[in-house]
Structure formats: C-alpha cells, structure tokens
Structure 1
C-alpha cells in the first residue's frame, strides 16, 4: 500500500464542501436556563435565527415600495433562510470570537451575533444557486426556490416557460441574499475598527466559495480525475467557507493576533478536508439506514472524489483492468453487485486505507494546532468536540 497523500496547509495553496455538512455538523451544547447554552463559547441556532428574522423584517418595507412581487420574493427568500439548519458557520465564527477574547457578557455581544449571523445569508445564496446547478427539487422537505417559482408561474397561467422563469427568479433571489449578507454585516453594530478588520476576511471567503463551486462544475463536466483538483474543491468549497474563514472572521472581529489566526486557519482547513474525506467514504461504504441515501450513491452519481482519484492513480500504474472498470462504471445505473465489485476495487487498490490514514493525520494535526493555540479553554473544548463530530461520524 502506498503512503497517504500529503497535503499542505492553507499557505501552501490548494480542499470540497458537501451540501450535507450543514446537517452533519452540530454544535455541542448543554441546555441551560431559559434555553441558553451552558457554555458561552457556543452560539445557539435560536439566537442566529432571531437575528436573521429581525434583519429580514427591516428589509420588508423597502421591498414593498419597489413592488408587490418583489416583496413576495423577499418573503419567499426569508422563509427559505429561516427554515431550519444547524447554523454551523455562525457557530464557528462566534466560537472563534470568544476564543480570541470576545466577551459574551458584554453589551457588544449582540452586535457580534448579528455580524456572524450574516454568514447564513451567504449560505442562503449558495443553497439557492446550488439547487439550480444540481437540479434539486426539494430542500429540507420543501420545494426548492426555482421549483416553487416554476409552480407559481403555472398556477398563474403566465406566458413563457415555467422552468426558465423559476430559474431566473431563483438566481435573482440568491443574488439578493448575497447582497443582504453584506448589508447585515455592515449594519450589525460592531465597531468601525472591527468592521475594517472583518472586511478582508469576508471578501476572501466570498471569492473562495464561488471559486470552489466553479472548480466543482468544471471538474464534473470535464471528468477531471486529479487529486489536486479534488483537494482544491474540498478546500475552497467546503473547508474555507464553512470552518476556516468563519473562525478567521470571528478572530478578526475580536482583534486576534496573527498567531491565533494562523492556528484557527490550520485547524479549520484540516477539519474541513477531513470531514469531506469521511463523507467520500460514507458515500460509497455507508449504511443506507444511517446515511439516508442508497449504498454506493456517489458511484452512481459519478463523483470524482479523492477516494476515486486515489484509486485511479494507483490503478493506472498497477492495474489497467481495474482502472478501465472504474472509469466505465462511474456515473452509470449500478446494481448492488456492481457497487460491491467497485467497493472491492477501491479497497484492494489501497484507496480506502489511504483516505482513512489521511483523515487521522488531518484530524490529529488540527487538534494539535488547536491545543497549542492561544484560544481560550472553553473555545478549545467546543472546537475539539465539533471536530470529533465532523470526522468520526457514521452518517
């Protein structure tokens, strides 16, 4: 078996963000009085949702002034954004802020809640647009935005193609979420110095997540099988956007020094990538009763994950028959027997062991960086628990 792939830290350059990260990661909380969390380093989803609802309500009068249909669009977007979710990104940003010395008991804490909650509007934009890209029809048990608006078109008997209208409406509402995210951060109430420190991090995060998404669609269309490409997608579409930059944002708001920022970014990148590698394994070997999707679903979808790229790299060198079989099978209507055969190929080629070793290496490195950082003890405890949830899960 060949040695595990060695990937670098954020400064070394190019890592893929699954849509299920939102559902799989849960902030470790212990309920306290009046629904508050016992640990001040943990931000409850309820506080995020209250901040979002208050902000969106303030936007309604302007939308009504522009027009009734636009106001209805804002209502639809508000329902979408407020409809569940673990609020993972604000949670990491808040914990990053607390870990850098932010005081949850200070009067300014509510402004920080508002600032980090704006991340959920970027997430709203990403989900609305991802649902279009993936041709998804439902999200959390409800019609996706483009499907909802296509249905409205049909119900009203409007002219033109309902699907084209639905897609057009959803693109614009996703853009609106992105624009309002900027507004919510700017109007959060954090002081001017904190806002100036936050802006470069915010800009980098937006650029990275859009870049990661673009890399992903090009890789899928071009059938790019390289490990470097899979790593770049993991880094920018998942790790940076979901863990690394939210932690960085919280640290920037608190005025953290460069050493803590570097530790946060190292931790966030490594845990984000380790999460995706675990997701890759579950997409092929996971128990359907636990994962909620058919066994081998990622193989049927033809995903060029690190797991698959690793297997093909070895097969091209050592087993051309296996390489041809994997390439011919990906993205086809596989039977259970086909899935079992491909699982055996991936295992025999050493790809499964490589990915498991990489998860262990990345997780260990991340936890070491966290332990050696200057973050506060309660923040370290919270982040370590979140890391374990992300990388050791079975669903």
Structure 2
C-alpha cells in the first residue's frame, strides 16, 4: 500500500520519525497526522494532510547558552505522500492545543526550512536541494496559484526531507511548541501537470559564501549579491516567494537586468504580529518602544516570466531602520539581515521527472560546514 493510500484510510495517526546526522543535528520527533479537506483539484483526487512535528521545548530567554533561541533539526520527517505532487504547503508554530505561537505571546517562528536530501540544489549544485524557507510571516507556498495552474513539486519514492525549525522564546519560562504544516497533494503525476524546481536566490550569495551577513548600525541601505543565478533550463517562472527580516521595505528580482518581481512586506496587520516589550527590555526585545510591529506578510509574484537557458537572475533587498525597527538579539545587537527569494521554475513533466530521477543525493556535510552548524541563514 502506498503511503498516500495509507493516509487516506486514517483520521489521525502518530508515529516516531527523525534520525540525526549526528547527535547535535537531530532530535527524535513525533509526527501527528490528520487528514483534512483539500482546497483545489478535488476532481483529480487531491488530498490534504495536517502534520504536527514536535514537541519542541524552547529554552527560557534567560538560558545563558541559548538566550531562548534554539534550532530543532529532523533529518527524515514524516511526509504526506511519496510518488506524488505537492501542490501547496503552509507552516505554523503552535502551542499544545492548536493556539498559534507568535510575537504577541512572546514566541517566534524565526525560521522554518526544508531540504530534500535525495536531490541536488539548482543554485548551489553540490548541496542538497533547498525546497523552501519561511519565517514568522508564515507564507503560503501554492504552486497551483489557487487552483489556476497545474503544477507541483514531485516527491519520488524514498525521498528524505530534512526539516529545520528555529524558534525564539522571549519569556522567562521554557515552553513547548509544535511545527504544524499543512500539505496539499495529488497522488502520482497527473497528466498536464508541470513539475516545479526551487531556486534559492540570496543577497549573501546562493551558496551563502559572499558574506557572513550584512549588518548596519542605522539608516537606509540596500543589500545585493555580487553574483546571481543563471538557468540551464527552459520553463515558466510561476512563483517567487520572499523572506526578509524586520526593517525591510522592498525586495526586487531582476531577470537579465529587467525588474520582474517586487515584494513588499506588511507590518503588524493583526495583533499576533505585535510584540509588547517590558520597560527593562527583557528577552529578545527587537527594539525599545512598547509596541513593536513585525513583518506579518510579504507580497509574492506569480506567473513571473518565461525562462530559457542563459536567463540570469539577481536580487536586491532594501532596508530602512528609520521606518521599521530592525531585529535585535538578546544583547540588543542587530541581527544579520536576510534577503532571500525562492523562485519556482515549472518544467514539462516528462523531462522534469527524467532530470529528478538522474539526481544524486546532495552533500549535506558541505552544507553544514558552510553554515557552521546553524541550520542555514
């Protein structure tokens, strides 16, 4: 029985998954799976699963080693399916019982990242494939563009996906959270569906090797990578999903020097994204004022452009610390900024699957050596 058939027969299941690369790179994780109603392509048999990964015990902000910031790394997470197309997914940080953990309760989803260890990265070709990265803005990754585009990410039999969850606790007491992801998918590879490939475009260089992170003490500035990414393939750039830090005002992607995507962050759209800082600046205060408004969403770009071999992409990320309070660490020091745009290139199914089946596993050790054991940016 295929995994997607097994899931369809269940309401809720709980299994143990996660195997560490080495002791400090993995934690045993329980994954609780719940089958829920799909949103799109129901006529094609689409399915949707909510999977809770955890529990993760996030230390106190007073912990002398972590100051409340800790990464949890699961080397082989429970996936909703194999031999299937992932058409969309979301990520949310929650407490026991399903309440969202966010800035207003002193808990941050600092980063959430996915890597397919059985494939190689398009932008940094010796690394495992970086599928997606998210932050406290909790973006939706929808390759179907709300059911208007037949496209998805292909998970083949045996694919092993590495999940990094970086949580930040601003309170004195240690607290338990869960990474809750909703996956929508189609069994197999339905006809007429293209296959998407993720491309990591970064102001720090696509192998994170141009700088250790741009830091500015004040003012207005722009971060740019010295290099970009050049495509070897034809296809449709159907989706561009950004990730930045507080202080960002705009992020732009250029193809062959022409602007093709502008992403603008919004701050504090709901109360969940507003933190309340004590007068003594306790914990990760991210600023000095009583109410700090944090990035709550960032605009994405859809149906961006046709891509051909030789198409060259670059990125610029704009920051204004006078307009928006930047992120600070436990000691009140500015955190390195980020400027990432995940590009999703849709390619015809037959050639895409042939390419995927020819891929070898990426060099995880090269990745961990480059990022210094910190799980990425």
TM-score band (shorter)?
Answer: under 0.3
Instruction: Considering fraction of residues, name the structure with more strand.
Output: 2
Return the TM-score normalized by structure 2: 0.25
Return the TM-score normalized by structure 1: 0.24
Q: Which has the higher contact order (CA 8 A, sep 6+)?
A: 1
Instruction: Considering fraction of residues, name the structure with more helix.
Output: 1
Larger Rg: 1
